[in-house]
Structure 1
């Protein structure tokens, strides 16, 4: 198990290095003169050139990238062009709220999707299975911003149950302290994941229902409820663990849409504002966070699955 963990860590490090290189080069191509972005279009060419020279932007791209890696090694994400603040500080001020929103959306999605997937598998090809499958496809195909607008129109305007704007509290625990204001953002974020998780859980459960251990349990006369909870659920959820790990960055992207739609102060709203201001250090840091979450999610999922099924470790 130790060698498996070390090997996965090495692979993760290489992937992160590749992500940082690609993102850095892409943003460098987009902005060939940070001095012009920072000083504005009215700045003289001399002032722009002096700014680029003082900050090392006139050096070759490779040299700039090596310097950036050195900054990352010291946990230095640079400074915001427009806000003149440390990027790490800006991210730290907003990360807690975005993380809590993502966690709430993921929890709601799993609580709904896992029982639905099991139900569909047990009642395969029934009317309920077909209706739930159709609803999942429709929900998955609906863009998050459109779903959010529909929820606002129905539950905030037609039926004034929830406010149209998310809570503006700076507390990361706002999901618990002001659940009414956070209901629509959480539901919007969780909706697409419910559709994916439910269908994935259904397929996994169908595969497990055909295994010998399920037939043996039924032959022994065990109650169906006990078979589902004690035998089926654990094995059917293992593939879902891997899927959850890969979808963590999708939640981050969903945060971007949801936070913008409901004006929720988090990383997504910070990213959109930075995009409008062409604040590339913030954009680079946000993209790197998405890469780190992708790699970390896959790494943790692999460890959980390997711990639950030792055959995974042996095959790899």
Structure 2
């Protein structure tokens, strides 16, 4: 197991190194001039050149990247020219709120999706299965911003149960301390995750129901509840671990939409504001964070799956 983990960590580090260069290069070529973005369209060429020289933007791209990589290894993500704060501080201040929003929605979606997917598989082609599948396909095809707007129109305007704006508290625990204001953002992310998890769980459970060990357990007269809880549930949930790992960066992107719709002060809203202001260091840090979460999610998922099913470890 140790060798497998070390191999996966090594591959992940190489991927992150390549990702950092690609992201740096893309944002560097997209951004016409950080100096012009910061100083404004009326800035003179001399002022722009002086700004670029002072911040190292006049050096070759590879030299800028090596300097950026060195700062990155020491935890220095640069400084926001617009907000005049360290980027690492900005990310840290907003990460807790976004993380609690994502985790709350993720846990709620799993608590509903796992039993729902199992129930659909056991009652294949029943009314429950057909209805749940139809609703899932409909919601899956609906953009998350449209789901958010529909929830606002229904539960905030037509039936004034919840406010249309999320909590503006600086505390990451606002999801629990101000549940009424956070209900619609959490519900939006829960729905977008639920439709994916439930159908994935249904397909996995259907595949496991056709395996010989399920048939043997039933042939021995084991109660159906024991077959489901002792055999089916654990094996059917193993593929879901990989999906959760892949879903982590998608949650970050989903937060961007949900936080912008509900005006929730998190990483997503920070990125959107930085994009409008062309705040280059914040954009670079946020993009890299998404890449790190993608690689980390896959790494953790691979390790957990290998831990649950040793056959995977032996084949890699």
TM-score range, shorter chain: over 0.9
Q: How far apart in 2 are the matches of 1:171 and 1:33?
A: 36
Matches within 5 A, 1:127-276: 127-276=127-276
User: TM-score if structure 2 supplies the norm length?
Assistant: 0.98
Task: Return 5+ residue gaps in structure 2 as ranges.
Answer: none
Matches within 5 A, 1:64-103: 64-103=64-103
Task: Return 5+ residue gaps in structure 1 as ranges.
Answer: none
Q: CA deviation at 1:220?
A: 1.6
Q: How far apart in 1 are the matches of 2:268 and 2:48?
A: 30
Residue 120 of structure 1 corresponds to which residue in structure 2? 120
Q: How far apart in 2 are the matches of 1:199 and 1:226?
A: 23
Structure 1: which 4+ aligned runs deviate by more than 2 Å?
Answer: none
Q: How far apart in 2 are the matches of 1:57 and 1:28?
A: 9
Residue 290 of structure 1 corresponds to which residue in structure 2? 290
Matches within 5 A, 1:1-40: 1-40=1-40
Q: How far apart in 1 are the matches of 2:118 and 2:133?
A: 12
Q: How far apart in 2 are the matches of 1:34 and 1:273?
A: 16
Q: CA deviation at 1:127?
A: 2.1
User: TM-score if structure 1 supplies the norm length?
Assistant: 0.98
Q: CA deviation at 1:117?
A: 0.6
Counterpart of 1:217 in 2: which secondary structure? helix
Residue 41 of structure 2 corresponds to which residue in structure 1? 41
Q: How far apart in 1 are the matches of 2:254 and 2:20?
A: 22
Q: CA deviation at 1:233?
A: 0.4
What RMSD, in angstroms, separates the aligned Cα atoms of the two structures?
Answer: 0.8
Counterpart of 2:258 in 1: which secondary structure? helix
Q: How far apart in 1 are the matches of 2:246 and 2:273?
A: 26
Counterpart of 1:169 in 2: which secondary structure? coil
What are the superposed Cα offsets for residues 167-189 of structure 1, whole Å, 9 maximum, x if unpaired? 11111111111111111101101
